[in-house]
Amino acid sequence: MLGRPSGIFNVRYEQDSALYRTRVDWGWGLFVLGVLLALPLLTRQGLFGNDAPLSVALIGILTRAWITIIAVTGLNLLLGYTGQVSLGHAAFIMVGAYTSQALVDQLGLSFWLALPLAALLTGLVGVLFGLPALRVRGFYLAMTTLAAQFMIPWFITTYQGSWFEGLLWERAVPALCILGGLALGLRQATQQTANRGTLARAMQISLGVVAGVLLGLFISQLHRLDLGGATGKTVSPPTINLPGLVDWRLNTNLSMYYVALVSLIIMAGAARNLVRSHIGRALISVRDNELAAEQLGINVFRYKLLAFFLAAVYAGVAGSLQAHSAQSISPSAFDLERSILLVGMLIIGGVGFPLGPSFGVLFFVSMNDLIIPQVRPWLRDQLPNLVTFVDPANLDPALLPMLFGATLILFLIFEPRGLAYRWLLLQVAWRLRPFIRS
């Protein structure tokens, strides 16, 4: 029974809604978490010194993977659970990265405060580009989100603080943001009041006011910012500063690995719970049939905007983590190719599955950083003999796009529902043993 929890059925609602069904599932989850927490200790910077079995470079690769999984998880909420196509996700990551750099290095905020603020601002930008979802869908919606991939990098590259000087941006617009936050909080608090207590309504109003104040303060400081143009900016690493106690700079691969891993656990857990709530069920109904969802009383446009907001929030968190992990940012790191790669990772992993982002990102990282470097020398020698009409000097940088494109085509043909779907089938087959047919 410890190896195969087949024949275990849910008899209570709590069991049906639990993240893990059995103690065996909990055991496997804790085991995987323990392995992930122990990996950095097996490096040269950990417990083993020069005799360490793992390299520090591998920890850096995994750190980037955890950050990318956060971004793809947000894309999964938008594309997988709401059915809204986005080709500008890298631009939203860019907003989070540059906002976090500005808040920490130019306005003097702590990284731990700048991270949620950058996510919030990125979410608002995502709502702005999600407004066309009211009128268009499918291919046309993809084109409108593609506009973000051109407009946001252009804005950051050509940004000048003088654009936001004067009373309009330093006083009037921040005041409107505060009033707008208050109005939004009041509107949310007065809806469905029968199901909410006084404390819940007060929290709704407070959150609206706080969001409006923070956004207004940020806008009032826009004239002071320098985004670095096309060359980008350097970014300081996160710090843990407790006066009189500790003053740590998290500027190593090991420290950022744990920051990224904890952030991933929080964001992935939030996404998993979200899709199992009434909000997640509403998003899925919008994806499956907008007309039927509207007939059931679901505000389709509102939930579409909510999906864009959530996807952009996840992108903002990933952008902030990426900026402070790499300690540098530039517009070239957030181009259209990366947006397409993020969609490709989700397709390979499994669109609409909780583990889809993890499978897709880890598959791509394995190809890009582990497999291709091993086979690249052989391919560099053999491909010129097979593809004689291409200059051998141009083949090496094209290996990754070629192999990733070929892999994506194969997945669309032979496994269109992704690796997560295959993993789900394997889980079901294992739990039903020995009752399944051989």
Q: 222, exposed or middle or buried, with CB in 10 Å at 0-12, 13-18, 19+?
A: middle
Residue 48 predicted with pLDDT over 80: no
List pLDDT tens digits, range 219-232. Answer: 777 777 888 888 88
- CATH numbers and ranges of domains, the chain: 55-159+225-432 (1.10.3470)
Q: What is the pLDDT of residue 435?
A: 59
Return the top range by mean pLDDT from 3-17, 180-194, 389-403: 389-403
- Two tokens at 430? 């294992």
Q: What is the pLDDT of residue 430?
A: 76
**Nearest-angstrom CA–CA distance, 126 and 143:** 15
Strands 246-249 and 239-242, sheet pairing: antiparallel
- Which of residues 313 and 50 earns the better pLDDT score? 313
Q: What is the average pLDDT value for the chain, to the nearest integer? A: 83
- Which of residues 362 and 430 earns the better pLDDT score? 362
Interval 286-295 mean pLDDT: 90
Confidence of residue 426 (pLDDT cuts 50, 70, 90): confident
Cis ω before 377 (30° cut-off from 0): no
Q: Which three-class secondary structure state does DSSP give residue 103? A: helix
List pLDDT tens digits, range 301-357. Answer: 889 999 999 999 999 999 999 999 998 999 989 999 899 999 999 999 999 999 999
- Two tokens at 284? 């899925």
Q: What is the pLDDT of residue 56?
A: 83
Q: What is the pLDDT of residue 265?
A: 95
Q: What is the pLDDT of residue 436?
A: 54
- pTM for this one? 0.89
Q: What is the pLDDT of residue 98?
A: 93
Q: What is the pLDDT of residue 55?
A: 81
- Which of residues 129 and 241 earns the better pLDDT score? 129
- Two tokens at 374? 């091993």
- Which of residues 23 and 30 earns the better pLDDT score? 30
List pLDDT tens digits, range 103-122. Answer: 998 888 889 999 999 999 99
Residue 149 predicted with pLDDT over 50: yes
Residue 1 predicted with pLDDT over 60: no
Closest CA to 400 of 434, 420, 429, 372: 372
Residue 142 predicted with pLDDT over 90: no
Residue 263 predicted with pLDDT over 90: yes
Return the top range by mean pLDDT from 46-60, 143-157, 190-204: 143-157
List pLDDT tens digits, range 61-74. Answer: 999 999 999 999 99
Q: What is the pLDDT of residue 46?
A: 66
**Contacts of 394-401 spanning 24+ positions with Cβ under 8 A:** 399/372, 400/367, 400/368, 400/372
Residue 424 predicted with pLDDT over 80: yes
Confidence of residue 393 (pLDDT cuts 50, 70, 90): low
